[in-house]
A and B are shown apart, each in its own frame.
Chain A
């Protein structure tokens, strides 16, 4: 559709001619209230010159009604009474714009979410509410002023937070499209949790074999700057122009001088548990997390190091790379977009005391089991149980540990991967020990992905894995640190007691412990489960509600590797789509200073959360930087002189709404 050549001039003094369009929204609205009556009511309101109702205002034909009325010169302001402006405000604004009317002379009354959906069984009540909304929207429409959108340049670069499989995939795609990527990872290596896995369901691909080439690719790309052992400490700016401060934590090993000979590790006297193997193997205070780490840089863990000085001796570190006085470095980068791919933490089952984790040595979590099964893990893929380092004959898995738990402290959601990884681990163990007895205690088996059901079926049919439907009530220790399980087999309705050699808790995934800090750093929202919230659960699954910031992988919610990679590629594509335009439009909702009223008290300046207010020392007035202003309105309410006005939400506009909302109802209710 081409824009109308004829531009309709509207100013503060132009007499308002308002068109009101009532949408049926199929039966969503029309099935509850009388839309014809509502349309007639709208005609009684001041400055309303025409009103129409139509089945779907958002349809082409619905849009055409508005366009024709504008182009015929019948109206110069538009009110649509329909769904949430979150849904269709952009649609109708575009209609206005195409018809030559300033797009900010549009107002939407949300009578679907606010009236008919919530009062589905109270037609009269819903109608009264819808009337209120239409009246308020018309009142505001009368006072609307034309505004001009701002266009800002977009930096062709992306910050990706998190170097797991999600962050890596997004980085590779963006780099291939020619964008600069800063890949920030807080641990000393990229790879994330996937590097800890042995095989992947349902194809039994070796995780390391498919991951490490990707890691090397990421390391090789010129366009990708890997910032491992680094954290994002500050983010300012706005879509297209974020300014990011990154802290590079000190490695205490000069990466320029280090030749990765490993002599420091051999000579280090301090041994601690290796995080990569969940404490089941050791590492030195100076270490590389695992052999395939990228970048292969040595780091001294200063929480463990006693600064004995051995590694720094010239006969140990010949290039003299050890530097105990290394300090954090801060770097600032400018990026156009940000992708959050911070991943997950494993649920800690210690609090579920009935399962004995942390109390009994032979109760382990599923990530520990994964490391035990891994060919480059602490036991080279020959799992043993912790108490006597012997291969267990009987193993039981318990599903939904920390997931699908509606008690206090648990997570209510399904973690989506545990049914399959437990099945995979059980199969792997049976492959190594065909005589072993393996039990999986489950609530439901959720094998929803491509090839998953077949994988599960085969585990039961061909591998002889025993699936028992029942929640385990409690476990206790028998002789030889064996674990005795008490449960009910709900399919045969019998309480059972089962003695096993090792007990694996299939723990769920949860949002990273510091997801809250990341959320406030980026001003993005989280849903009730703690994961980052997408802008729309179906139609905008990789966007956040903050423009220019995207989310990928488990950071958004539990998902398996295929879904994570798909979402990462989606996020990369969305970021690229934004950057490829070169410019973005910013809604002109910023505050403006009425200089003749401003007394120069600077109250607003200290309160502005975005640092968007400067001060003009010569004129002695506040100055708003429209590019930084987010339109929060804090300065407006703080200004003691009434000198701050926020575009589109000006005091006189809001007052007009309040006036009709309050006065009209009181008259209808008998008045005073």
Chain B
């Protein structure tokens, strides 16, 4: 990469990562720094706001709050990155709507004027996976791979908002069988295995987790069963909310549907930048892969030690 044109991104944190999975935020920062991209803070950013909650009730409210968040990055003059599919869904959909529908932009700006802001639409909200895969590109990333994992079988979970709706996403209309996340995983030498209903929901989305936890746990149960049947060592995802559901959801599924499940689930759930970071040779502590406390009720809920044990040999 040309050093004179160092990549810069405004980092939109969202809610789940900072509150429940700080290791996700930490690993994103570590990996982007390692790849020579500068991360700028978005001072004053609020909730994205959550697509399944705000948008489902009042679209104009959702749009104005999202637009306000985007204006913070516009002031910084750089594209937004976020590590969360939900935030990505909100920011990207709002950006798309506002850049395609002048009447909405006018409405939003009338509201934003009251807080001294204006939406321009001159930056693009991106997912961190999009920034890695498209802005930097596989050829660029491959040069950073230091450790390659042998015999690591990964169940890749995309989540929903990162690929749908396809016309507002950057994947060329692909929504049935995307491969970008699998490609990033396989770059590390790991094997992305096929499993039944790979593109099934984690269970949490659409406020289902909030409203009816047993239903969410039932989704997770089915998904996790398929993942276990396919013989996966770990799950890789790219969304903190999916991460929560696939991690904490294992405990919930075990307790609610124990009789159906048999042997309780204990599949380590790893965020994509944690895996990439390890492969790039970044200190596992920085990636939040070493749990240095014994507190109950603190993430990750499913121990990730088996994963670290499995890749220990390749790291040394």
Q: Indicate if the CB atoms of B176 and A353 lie closer than 8 Å.
A: yes
A-B contact pairs, 11 of them (CB 8 A): A352-B176, A353-B176, A353-B177, A354-B176, A408-B166, A408-B167, A408-B173, A409-B173, A474-B176, A476-B196, A476-B197
Residue interface bits A12-43, CB-to-B below 8 A is 1, else 0: 00000000000000000000000000000000
Residue interface bits A99-128, CB-to-B below 8 A is 1, else 0: 000000000000000000000000000000
Which residues does chain B contribute within 8 Å of A409, judged by CB atoms?
173
- Complex formed: what's the CA distance from A548 to B196 in Å? 58
Which residues does chain B contribute within 8 Å of A408, judged by CB atoms?
166-167, 173
Which residues does chain A contribute within 8 Å of B173, judged by CB atoms?
408-409
Which residues does chain B contribute within 8 Å of A474, judged by CB atoms?
176
- Complex formed: what's the CA distance from A354 to B197 in Å? 11
Which residues does chain A contribute within 8 Å of B196, judged by CB atoms?
476
Which residues does chain B contribute within 8 Å of A353, judged by CB atoms?
176-177
Residue interface bits A618-631, CB-to-B below 8 A is 1, else 0: 00000000000000
Which residues does chain B contribute within 8 Å of A352, judged by CB atoms?
176
Which residues does chain A contribute within 8 Å of B166, judged by CB atoms?
408
- Complex formed: what's the CA distance from A175 to B167 in Å? 52
- Complex formed: what's the CA distance from A547 to B173 in Å? 41
Q: What size tier do the contact residues of chain B reach?
A: under 10
- Complex formed: what's the CA distance from A164 to B167 in Å? 39
- Complex formed: what's the CA distance from A362 to B196 in Å? 18
Distance between A155 CB and nearest chain B CB, rounded to angstroms? 48
Residues 157-197 (chain B) with a chain A CB within 8 angstroms: 166-167, 173, 176-177, 196-197
The chain B residue with its CB closest to the CB of A409 is: B173
Distance between A401 CB and nearest chain B CB, rounded to angstroms? 14
- Complex formed: what's the CA distance from A408 to B176 in Å? 13
Distance between B192 CB and nearest chain A CB, rounded to angstroms? 16
- Complex formed: what's the CA distance from A354 to B173 in Å? 14
- Complex formed: what's the CA distance from A474 to B167 in Å? 20
The chain A residue with its CB closest to the CB of B173 is: A408
Residue interface bits A415-426, CB-to-B below 8 A is 1, else 0: 000000000000
- Complex formed: what's the CA distance from A354 to B196 in Å? 13
Chain A residue total in the interface (Cβ 8 A): 7
Distance between A144 CB and nearest chain B CB, rounded to angstroms? 44
Task: Determine the main DSSP class of A at the interface with B.
Answer: mixed
- Complex formed: what's the CA distance from A352 to B177 in Å? 10
Which residues does chain A contribute within 8 Å of B167, judged by CB atoms?
408
Residue interface bits A220-245, CB-to-B below 8 A is 1, else 0: 00000000000000000000000000
- Complex formed: what's the CA distance from A413 to B166 in Å? 22
The chain A residue with its CB closest to the CB of B198 is: A476
Residue interface bits B134-175, CB-to-A below 8 A is 1, else 0: 000000000000000000000000000000001100000100
Residues 78-115 (chain B) with a chain A CB within 8 angstroms: none
- Complex formed: what's the CA distance from A408 to B197 in Å? 24
Residues 451-480 (chain A) with a chain B CB within 8 angstroms: 474, 476
| Closest 8 A/B residue pairs (Cβ) | A353-B176, A353-B177, A354-B176, A408-B173, A408-B167, A476-B196, A409-B173, A408-B166
Residue interface bits A383-417, CB-to-B below 8 A is 1, else 0: 00000000000000000000000001100000000
Which residues does chain A contribute within 8 Å of B177, judged by CB atoms?
353
- Complex formed: what's the CA distance from A408 to B168 in Å? 12
- 8 A-B pairs besides A353-B177, A408-B167 with CB distance below 8 A are A352-B176, A353-B176, A354-B176, A408-B166, A408-B173, A409-B173, A474-B176, A476-B197
Residues 350-367 (chain A) with a chain B CB within 8 angstroms: 352-354
- Complex formed: what's the CA distance from A409 to B174 in Å? 11
Residues 464-520 (chain A) with a chain B CB within 8 angstroms: 474, 476
- Complex formed: what's the CA distance from A476 to B196 in Å? 8
Which residues does chain B contribute within 8 Å of A354, judged by CB atoms?
176
Which residues does chain A contribute within 8 Å of B197, judged by CB atoms?
476
Distance between B110 CB and nearest chain A CB, rounded to angstroms? 30
- Complex formed: what's the CA distance from A476 to B198 in Å? 11
The chain A residue with its CB closest to the CB of B196 is: A476
The chain B residue with its CB closest to the CB of A408 is: B173
Distance between A389 CB and nearest chain B CB, rounded to angstroms? 25
Distance between A495 CB and nearest chain B CB, rounded to angstroms? 14
The chain A residue with its CB closest to the CB of B197 is: A476
Which residues does chain A contribute within 8 Å of B176, judged by CB atoms?
352-354, 474
Distance between A58 CB and nearest chain B CB, rounded to angstroms? 43
- Complex formed: what's the CA distance from A409 to B177 in Å? 16
The chain B residue with its CB closest to the CB of A478 is: B196
Distance between A362 CB and nearest chain B CB, rounded to angstroms? 17
Distance between B194 CB and nearest chain A CB, rounded to angstroms? 10
Distance between A355 CB and nearest chain B CB, rounded to angstroms? 9
Residues 191-217 (chain B) with a chain A CB within 8 angstroms: 196-197
The chain B residue with its CB closest to the CB of A354 is: B176
- Complex formed: what's the CA distance from A474 to B198 in Å? 12
- Complex formed: what's the CA distance from A408 to B166 in Å? 10
Distance between B222 CB and nearest chain A CB, rounded to angstroms? 13
- Complex formed: what's the CA distance from A107 to B41 in Å? 69
- Complex formed: what's the CA distance from A352 to B196 in Å? 18
- Complex formed: what's the CA distance from A354 to B176 in Å? 6
Which residues does chain B contribute within 8 Å of A476, judged by CB atoms?
196-197
- Complex formed: what's the CA distance from A354 to B166 in Å? 15
- Complex formed: what's the CA distance from A352 to B176 in Å? 8
- Complex formed: what's the CA distance from A409 to B173 in Å? 9
The chain B residue with its CB closest to the CB of A486 is: B197
- Complex formed: what's the CA distance from A476 to B173 in Å? 21
- Complex formed: what's the CA distance from A353 to B198 in Å? 13
The chain A residue with its CB closest to the CB of B174 is: A353
- Complex formed: what's the CA distance from A352 to B173 in Å? 11
- Complex formed: what's the CA distance from A476 to B177 in Å? 12
- Complex formed: what's the CA distance from A474 to B200 in Å? 12
- Complex formed: what's the CA distance from A353 to B196 in Å? 15
Distance between A353 CB and nearest chain B CB, rounded to angstroms? 4
- Complex formed: what's the CA distance from A409 to B167 in Å? 11
- Complex formed: what's the CA distance from A474 to B175 in Å? 13
Residue interface bits A336-380, CB-to-B below 8 A is 1, else 0: 000000000000000011100000000000000000000000000
- Complex formed: what's the CA distance from A474 to B177 in Å? 12
Residues 29-58 (chain B) with a chain A CB within 8 angstroms: none
- Complex formed: what's the CA distance from A523 to B196 in Å? 51
- Complex formed: what's the CA distance from A353 to B176 in Å? 6
- Complex formed: what's the CA distance from A476 to B166 in Å? 22
Distance between A555 CB and nearest chain B CB, rounded to angstroms? 28
Distance between A487 CB and nearest chain B CB, rounded to angstroms? 15
Distance between A412 CB and nearest chain B CB, rounded to angstroms? 16
Distance between B199 CB and nearest chain A CB, rounded to angstroms? 9
- Complex formed: what's the CA distance from A408 to B177 in Å? 16
- Complex formed: what's the CA distance from A560 to B262 in Å? 57
The chain B residue with its CB closest to the CB of A474 is: B176
- Complex formed: what's the CA distance from A353 to B199 in Å? 13
Q: Which of B167, B176, B177 has the most CB of A within 10 A?
A: B176
The chain B residue with its CB closest to the CB of A352 is: B176
The chain A residue with its CB closest to the CB of B166 is: A408
Distance between B271 CB and nearest chain A CB, rounded to angstroms? 27
Distance between B146 CB and nearest chain A CB, rounded to angstroms? 34
Distance between B177 CB and nearest chain A CB, rounded to angstroms? 5
Distance between B105 CB and nearest chain A CB, rounded to angstroms? 24
Distance between B273 CB and nearest chain A CB, rounded to angstroms? 28
Distance between B200 CB and nearest chain A CB, rounded to angstroms? 10
- Complex formed: what's the CA distance from A304 to B167 in Å? 40
Distance between A229 CB and nearest chain B CB, rounded to angstroms? 37
Residue interface bits B249-289, CB-to-A below 8 A is 1, else 0: 00000000000000000000000000000000000000000
- Complex formed: what's the CA distance from A353 to B167 in Å? 17
- Complex formed: what's the CA distance from A128 to B172 in Å? 47
Distance between A395 CB and nearest chain B CB, rounded to angstroms? 23
